[in-house]
Structure formats: C-alpha cells, structure tokens
Structure 1
Amino acid sequence: MPAFLRALESRNYRIYFAGQLISLAGTWMQQIAMVWLAYRLSGSALVLGTVGFASQIPILIFGAIGGVITDRFDKRRLLITTQALSMVQALLLAALAWRGEATTSHLIALAFGLGCINALDVPTRQAIAVHLVDNRDDLPNAIALNSFLMNVARFVGPTLAGFVVALVGEAVCFLLNAASYLAVLLALLAIRLPADGKRRPSAPPLQALREGLSYAAGHPGIRSSLLIVATTSFLAAPYVVLMPLFAKEIFGGDARLFGLLVGCAGGGSLLGSLYLAGRQGTDGLARLVGVAAPATGAAVALFALSPGIWMAMPVLVVLGLVIILTVAGSNTLIQTQVDNDFRGRVMALFTMAFLGIAPLGSFSVGSLAHAFGVRPTLVACGLLTVAAGLIYRRRSTCPGATD
C-alpha cells in the first residue's frame, strides 16, 4: 500500500473501512433528509435547532457512561448491537414519512433515540480503531482515513439526498440508510480482533468514570485538545443547522441547493482529511490545529456575510477544510497520547466535546437566530471562535506544550 493508505494493509481495518463507506453515506442522506423534513413541516429555525439538540444531547448526558462500557466489553459486539438498533430507527422514520404521518414531535423523539444509541456507538467506534491495525504506527493514518471516509460520505450523501428528496421524498432516504447498515453489520461479523483487543477494568463503574475524568483533566495535551473541540462544536458547527434557511430564504433555492451547500463543506472536509492522511506522524500537528481553529471562526463569519452562492460555496469549502483540521487533528493528538487503559473513556470525552456539546450550540444558535436573525448570530459565533482559536494557538506554542 502507498503511505497514504498504509492502514489498509491490515485485514480487519480494510473490512471495517469498506462497511463504513456504505453505511456513512446512508447516514448523511438520512441526516439531510431529516433536517429538510423538519424544516418543511415547521418552517422554523427553532425547530431545526431543537431537532439537532435532541439528536446529540444524549451524547452529552450518557457519553461518559458509554466510555466506561466501551472499556469493559467486547467492542465488536457493542458495535453490532448499536448498528442494528440504528437500522430499526431508520426504518421507523421511513415508515412514518412514507405514510405521511411524520410530525415534528416524531422527528424530535426519533432523533433523541438515535442520540442515545450514538452515546455508546461513537466512542466505541473511536476506541476500536487501535485494535483494527496490525501496526500501532499506522494508527494516525487509520484515524485520518476514518475522517476521510466520513467526509467522502459527507460530500456524496448530502448531494444525493438533495436530489432524492426533490424527486421522490424523504422516506426513500431513510429507507436507503436502513439498508446501508447491512454493509457495516456484515463487516463487523467478518473482522476478528486480537485476543488482547479488549480490556476489562477492575474498578467499579463510578470509580472508573472518575479515573477517566481525572486522567483527561491532568494531561495538558489531551485537555487542550478537548477544550478546542468543544468550543468549535458549540460556536462553529451549528452553522449546518441553519443551512436550510440560507438555501431557501436567503439564496432562494430548494433541497438540491441545500444538499449542494452541505456538499461544498463536505468537499473541503475531504481535502482536509486527505492532507491529514498523507502526514507522517504528529510532529507540528498541534501548531496546525492552532492555525485551523481561528480560521474556522473567520470562515463562519464570512459565510454569514455571503451575498450569494458565488461567495458562499468557496467559503464553505474552506470552512469544511479548517473544521476537519481542527477536529480530526485534535482526535489524532488525543489518540496518540492516551494510555490504552483509558482509551474508551477519553474517546467518550472527545465524543462528548465534539457531538455532545453540539446540541447546546444548535439549540442556542437556533434560538438566537430566531430572535436576532441568522446572519448576525453566525457572525458573532465566528468572532468568538476566532478568539478561542487564538487562545489555543498561544498555549500550544508555549514552551513545554505538547506537540
């Protein structure tokens, strides 16, 4: 394998990668269709923020417990369970949308249910990566390829979803997502983890939870990475929740333009993932994150001020690029610094910072946009993100800072 794809030399990772490629495309199709359906039923920025809040707040509430479970039990079996439950959720969405019975209450409830599943699924997927590669030195590449995989799906899924929704409706997107889970389930059944691929901490659950929190708080590099990811998720990531308003009300488009705009951000993220996958080691990665984090805020503000799609589309490409450098770069720094005994719990904290904090941002930004307007809200969020990124940059370049 070329250096860019070196993690694919491992049989388990190749199989897992192939299954995730199909499943994640379906996941993005469902996410876009769900947001568009919520907007079509309500026409409200507040409802869009509430759906985003409901889908991710369980990760903030239950994510730490999910990390304790991840460190205690067989990760492959945990993923088989969570992926099967996610398939059931997608089928329920498809049935409601197909029968024309879906309401905003249904969408909020099902989004919450999926969030509960993800509170265990996401940290388990993060923690299993180290066990899928035969050579520990390939772990940074595997993390970058995971990010690349997600952003390939993010680039393709929204664009497909926009056309599918416009042609045949949201129900087909939900049904295609349910079918896509078969690929990852078959992949999980095919992989074989090494005998030492799971660890069972002897400490009781609450003590194990406290130990994980103390470990992360006491490690300067991990603590800084978690803080910048949480800040980015709260202030910058919610721009996606407001995308339907930009597509329809500001730029005068439909579901196809919505999918295209999200796809532009996905294309930028794809470029960022490609860059990270091609890196050798983690030297200079903290400095790179220190540049990307404030650039994320600047891109959010520029997108908010875009007078038309001719400016919005390239800005979204840049925004997708710098967000992935910030988040995936921080993920790589954490994964290469964490002790394996704490991997599940620390990756649960990363999941909480990335996905668990996001609902608070979605709800807050959606509420502020409803009260004060979309553009002023996003400009303010962008400027605050710039400030947070500059603080991280100063700390990451201080003498003695972990790089």
Structure 2
Amino acid sequence: MSATFRSLKYPNFRLYFVGQSLSLIGTWMERIAVNWLVYTVTHSALMLGVVNFCGQIPTMLLSPYGGAISDRHNRYKVLLTTQIAAMTQACIMTALILTHHYYMPAIIALSAVLGIINAFDTPARQSLMIRLIDDKADLQNAIALNSSMVNLARLIGPAVAGVLLTTVGMGVCFAVNALSFIAVIVSLLLMKLKPETRAKAVGTVWENLKGGYEYLKSEHNIKLMILLMACTSFFTMTYSTLMPIFAKDVFHGNAATYSLLNSMSGLGALAGAIYMATLRSTENLRKTIIIASLICGISIALFAMSSYLWLGLIFIATGGLGMMIQIAGTNTFIQTTVAPNMRGRVISYYVMAFMGVQPLGSFLAGLAAHHFNARYVLFVQGTAGVIAAIAFGVFFRRAKRKQLIQPAENPVEVIP
C-alpha cells in the first residue's frame, strides 16, 4: 500500500491531492445537477446534447492555445487564475438556480464560459504535475493517484447529488460546488514550489502552436495514443449525455437512479485508477491501453442492451474501469515520453482529444437519440469504440515492427 500511495510523501502533491479532491466532488455534483435540470425542464435528448456540446467545444477549439500559454508562462499562476475564474462562474450559476431562473440560454452560456476556462486550466494543471513531485520516477504513480482522486470524487459527488436532488433540491448542489473551489485555491496558495526555470519564449504563441504540431507529427506513438483517445472520446465516453434518458425512461427511475448509474461508473473508474497506481513500469502501456479501450467499448454496448438495472450497473462499472485505465495510461505515456519544452502543447492536444472531441460526440448522440431509440444509439457507439480499439491495436503493432526494423536499415544510427 505504501508503494501505491508513494507520491503522497511530497507535501506539494499532498496539498494538490486534498484540494482537488474536495473541489471535484462539488464539480461532479454540479454536472449531475445540470444534466438532470436540463432533461427535467426540457424533456429533450437534443437539448442534453446541445448543453454538453456548448460546455465542451471551447476546450477543443482553445486547448492548443491554452497549452502554448502554459509553455510560455508560469503554470502555477495560470492554474491559480483559472481556478478563481471557475469559482466566479460557479457562483453566478448558483445564483441563477437558487433564484429559479432556469433559462436554457443562460445555462448554455455559462457552460460555454466554463469550457473556455477549462481549455486553459487543464493543460496548466497536467503540466504542473511534474513540479509537485521531487522524483520523476514517481510521476506515473502521481498521475494514477490523480486519476484515483478524480474518480473518488466521481463516485462520491453523484451519490451526494442524488440524495440532495431528491430531498432539498438542485440549488444546494450548485452552492456546494461554488464553495468547494475554496479548497483548491487555498491548497495552491499553501504550496512551496521551487522557482521555475525555463528558456525565454521565442516567437509568437501561434508559432509555438505550429512547433507543437510539428513535434507531435514526428512522435508517432504519442500521435497514435492521442488519436485513439479522440476516437474513444467521440464514440464511447459520450454515454454520460444519455444517462438521464436511461435513468428515467429505460430503467423507469428518478434522480436517485441517475446518480446511482454515475456512481457505479465512477466506482469502476476508481478501480481502474487504483490498478494504474500499482504499476511500476510503463513497458506494456500500449497493450494495456488497447485492452482497456476494448473493455470500455464492449461494456457500453452491453449496457445499452440491458433491460435490468442491476445488469446495467455492472456493465457501466466495467465501462468506467476500461475508460479510466485508458485515460490514465495515455496521460502517463505522454508525460513520460514528451520533451519537457513541449509538455504543455502536447498535453493540450491530449486534452483536446480527451475533452474537446466529446462535445461533438455528445451533440450527435443527443441528436440521434432525439430521432431514434437511445438504446440503439448507445449500442452503435459502443460497437464503434470496439472497432476503433482493434484498428489502433493493428496500428501500434505496425509502428513497433517499424521501430524494430529501422535500426537495421539505418546502421549509422545504431549506438554500440
């Protein structure tokens, strides 16, 4: 167990871990409350897709720019600024809900604002991770524990939200989220980071963006990892958009059923993150990620066809397991492979694939479910995720074979 949690011995990482844990519980409570509010007020699968699309599309469009900013400026200060901005957004959303102003345009606009903030927040947060630990050998463990923390919040947040939604109403969920940002802001202010040394930025932000893209094209394995994440994000990770429909119309439940489905998904994801934390080697990460992607796709397809709630809970949990192993594995592979001066920019492409492609999938899922049966839509998405995993398994094998053959073809490059 001490090996599993070894990154917590670093004071800065401990502060980050505790602050983010409390804040993310509030974040997940708000996510559950927003989707439930939208579907309860509009009864529209299409509107669910629209809200999720508007909340995430800024991340896709602006993440590369956010990554370039992260590489040019102090990542700690960028993160502190984005967290204060996110708290402000949460306070405004809380005020709207507590005063019963359920205006969809306002909710969509505030969701888009949060998406813009996340486009700068996530690359800075992920890039800062390496500065929170003293030994780079513990980076994989730190990333896995970070994923565990995210999914522990994903487990607790929906469970608490379900209780609050069915007892005191959704306004409290939004208020708790706004207050939870205090924890992460205080933890950042208490950190004692060594001065960050970096070369003076050369060229404009847009030239830096181009440099990051050129670097990514030359790193074949990282490029494949990010493309696979984009496919999984587009096809299978958008299942959360349709969860209110499954909770209310398929399993004939209420807000408690909806929160239970999300909590079980979070429980599976937490198990996957803990599994990644126990790994000490990155040697077989590519194989692990392909298998995890397959598990996720198969589980989502089987969940879509489940007629019983207990069976659906099992499949949604295994789907969360596969999804989190892929996310944490991809993040670890990139963080341990990328050149330090390209870290922010490459991570921004990962964020774009992970969070930015989801709005496109969410919108199409909502649109399709508006015209067709939601169960068939989700089954097709899961099946597409399986096909993508198999295809990328072939691509990775070809890339590995090419790496083995290349030294023989270029003997000058071989180091004796």
CA shift for structure 1 position 192: 2.2
Partner of 1:46: 46
> What SS does the corresponding residue of 2:5 show, helix, strand or coil?
helix
Does the alignment pair 1:167 with 2:155?
no
Residue pair 1:217, 1:223 contacting (<8 A) in 2 also: yes
CA shift for structure 1 position 248: 0.6
Residue pair 2:64, 2:348 contacting (<8 A) in 1 also: yes
Partner of 1:356: 356
Partner of 1:203: 203
Partner of 1:218: 218
CA distance in 2: counterparts of 1:201 and 1:152, whole angstroms? 38
CA deviation string 1:23-48 (max 9, x = no partner):
01111001111111111110100010
CA distance in 2: counterparts of 1:80 and 1:292, whole angstroms? 33
CA shift for structure 1 position 8: 1.2
CA shift for structure 1 position 220: 1.1
CA shift for structure 1 position 78: 1.0
Does the alignment pair 1:101 with 2:101?
yes
> What SS does the corresponding residue of 2:4 show, helix, strand or coil?
helix
CA distance in 1: counterparts of 2:71 and 2:191, whole angstroms? 19
CA shift for structure 1 position 196: 3.0
Which sits farther off after the overlay, 328-337 or 1-10? 1-10
TM-score by length of 1: 0.98
- Equivalences for residues 54-133 of structure 1 within 5 A: 54-133=54-133
> What SS does the corresponding residue of 2:202 show, helix, strand or coil?
coil
Residue pair 1:89, 1:110 contacting (<8 A) in 2 also: yes
CA distance in 2: counterparts of 1:17 and 1:26, whole angstroms? 15
Identity of aligned residues (%): 39
Does the alignment pair 1:239 with 2:226?
no
Query: 1:97 corresponds to which letter in structure 2?
Result: I
CA distance in 1: counterparts of 2:376 and 2:79, whole angstroms? 41
CA shift for structure 1 position 171: 1.1
CA deviation string 1:264-300 (max 9, x = no partner):
0000000000000000020111111111112211111
Residue pair 1:209, 1:345 contacting (<8 A) in 2 also: yes
CA distance in 1: counterparts of 2:233 and 2:198, whole angstroms? 30
CA distance in 2: counterparts of 1:136 and 1:306, whole angstroms? 44
Partner of 2:408: none
CA distance in 1: counterparts of 2:16 and 2:386, whole angstroms? 36
Partner of 1:381: 381
CA shift for structure 1 position 255: 0.6
Does the alignment pair 1:331 with 2:307?
no
Residue pair 1:131, 1:197 contacting (<8 A) in 2 also: no
> What SS does the corresponding residue of 1:241 show, helix, strand or coil?
helix
Residue pair 1:33, 1:161 contacting (<8 A) in 2 also: yes
CA deviation string 1:203-229 (max 9, x = no partner):
321110000011112101110110111
Residue pair 1:26, 1:178 contacting (<8 A) in 2 also: yes
> What SS does the corresponding residue of 1:202 show, helix, strand or coil?
coil
Partner of 2:32: 32
CA distance in 1: counterparts of 2:391 and 2:345, whole angstroms? 26
CA distance in 1: counterparts of 2:143 and 2:94, whole angstroms? 32
Residue pair 2:267, 2:320 contacting (<8 A) in 1 also: yes
Which sits farther off after the overlay, 30-39 or 194-203? 194-203
Residue pair 1:151, 1:270 contacting (<8 A) in 2 also: yes
CA distance in 2: counterparts of 1:370 and 1:401, whole angstroms? 45
Query: 1:254 corresponds to which letter in structure 2?
Result: N
Change beyond 3 A, Cα 1:402–1:29: farther
CA shift for structure 1 position 400: 3.8
> What SS does the corresponding residue of 1:283 show, helix, strand or coil?
coil
Query: 1:157 corresponds to which letter in structure 2?
Result: G
Residue pair 1:395, 1:401 contacting (<8 A) in 2 also: no
Change beyond 3 A, Cα 1:323–1:280: same
Partner of 1:262: 262
CA distance in 2: counterparts of 1:327 and 1:197, whole angstroms? 29
CA distance in 2: counterparts of 1:89 and 1:186, whole angstroms? 18
Query: 2:114 corresponds to which letter in structure 1?
Result: L
CA deviation string 1:183-206 (max 9, x = no partner):
000111111222235554323211
CA deviation string 1:356-395 (max 9, x = no partner):
0000000011101111120111111111111110011122
CA distance in 1: counterparts of 2:202 and 2:167, whole angstroms? 54
CA distance in 2: counterparts of 1:193 and 1:250, whole angstroms? 50
Residue pair 1:41, 1:104 contacting (<8 A) in 2 also: no
CA distance in 2: counterparts of 1:28 and 1:202, whole angstroms? 39
Change beyond 3 A, Cα 1:401–1:350: farther
CA distance in 1: counterparts of 2:353 and 2:117, whole angstroms? 17
Change beyond 3 A, Cα 1:48–1:401: farther
Query: 1:77 corresponds to which letter in structure 2?
Result: K
Partner of 1:366: 366
CA distance in 2: counterparts of 1:272 and 1:160, whole angstroms? 22
CA RMSD of aligned residues (A): 1.4
Does the alignment pair 1:158 with 2:158?
yes
Partner of 1:137: 137
Structure 1: stretches of 5+ with no match in the other structure: none
Residue pair 1:304, 1:378 contacting (<8 A) in 2 also: yes
Partner of 1:313: 313
Change beyond 3 A, Cα 1:186–1:214: same
Partner of 1:12: 12
TM-score by length of 2: 0.95
CA distance in 1: counterparts of 2:16 and 2:90, whole angstroms? 21
Structure 2: stretches of 5+ with no match in the other structure: 405-416
CA deviation string 1:112-151 (max 9, x = no partner):
0100100100111111001111001111111101100100
